[in-house]
Amino acid sequence: MNIPVVTLSDFSGEPAKKAALVKALGKAFEETGFVAVRDHGIPDPLIAGLYTYVQSFFSLPREKKVQYEIPGLAGQRGYTSFGKEHAKGSTAPDLKEFFQFGQTVTDSDPIASEYPENIQVREIPSFSPTFQAAYRAFEDSGRILLKAIALYLGLAEDYFEAFVHNGNSILRAIHYPPITQEPSSAIRAEQHEDINLITLLVGASADGLQILTKQNEWVSVTSLPEQIVVNVGDMLQRLTNNKLKSTTHRVVNPPREKWGSSRYSIPFFLHPKSSMSLACLEDCIDQIYPKAYADLTAGEYLDERLREIGLKK
């Protein structure tokens, strides 16, 4: 599927280009919930290094990886072993293992007490520094995208800034291992919507991502090497009273001849602080579109969803 493409550097360009970017981004998020982004500001060497260290980590023996699986963190930091997570409404586990890296507070913000420490991988010294650098790069790009979204919604450009500064975002490295026997399903990760405000995804190491269109058809989505794919999450859909769409997506198994290959994917889930209200914006509510959701904070909603997908008891 050819999803809309925008150039993020246009946001800091001349007013006409900035306005065109805002309009194109908002239109894409209303109609498909997905957009491809060029000139996103995440350096190619950093992305390459990230994939190198991610592959090194998942190549470690299982007994070494499980040392980084920390009980009580609901998978929010460190390693989560194969088959632990499932989609909301499904009991079948996704065919993946993953590692999560979170916010590091570097100022005096008291919110630091809410976040557990990131897990250091002893076997790969460059792992954590690379994740930290990538986290900041994704965060910076995400904040620009949120500025454009705010303008599209008729809000102040910096509307989201206070909520995402030291926010609860997550950088997740996912490994879908080779398929070694006839699978019970054609799905590696069941259909789902993301929890957060927006998700930024650098190109996966193999095809497999599909989105569900308005015509209820599954179509494959790929991005070019110099692009990232960005989609709306449930928090932004909730905030905008369904004006911006959190699109259903899934990951399917490769053709049989590629069963022996791993698939790696590294999404950045941009979350606000837990205290942010997700109450529907007043300007997104009218007689045609009455308020669709009860008021919740981002923290309350995240807690609810982590229980629904099996990461929290």
Residues near 138 by Cβ (< 8 Å), separated by ≥ 6?
42, 169, 171, 200, 268, 270
Q: Which two tokens stand for residue 93?
A: 């586990």
Average pLDDT of the segment spanning 187-195: 80
Digit-coded pLDDT (tens) for 150-169? 999 999 999 999 999 999 99
**Residue 79 within a domain:** yes
Contact, 85 vs 75, CB < 8 A?
Answer: yes
**Residue 159 within a domain:** yes
**Residue 166 within a domain:** yes
Distances (CA, A) of 117 to 97, 113, 114, 313: 20, 10, 10, 21
Digit-coded pLDDT (tens) for 264-287? 989 999 999 999 999 999 999 999
Contact, 57 vs 99, CB < 8 A?
Answer: yes
Average pLDDT of the segment spanning 45-49: 93
Digit-coded pLDDT (tens) for 104-115? 999 999 999 999
The CATH number given to whatever domain includes residue 42 is 2.60.120.330
**Residue 147 within a domain:** yes
Question: Closest Cα to residue 35, out of 47, 23, 45?
Answer: 23
Q: How many domains does the chain contain in total?
A: 1
**Residue 53 within a domain:** yes
Residues near 79 by Cβ (< 8 Å), separated by ≥ 6?
65, 66, 68, 69, 97, 98, 99, 119
Contact, 256 vs 297, CB < 8 A?
Answer: no
Question: Residue 226: which pLDDT band, with cuts at 50, 70 and 90?
Answer: confident
**Residue 313 within a domain:** no
Which domain covers residue 45, as residue numbers? 5-308
pLDDT score, position 311: 76
**Residue 265 within a domain:** yes
**Residue 134 within a domain:** yes
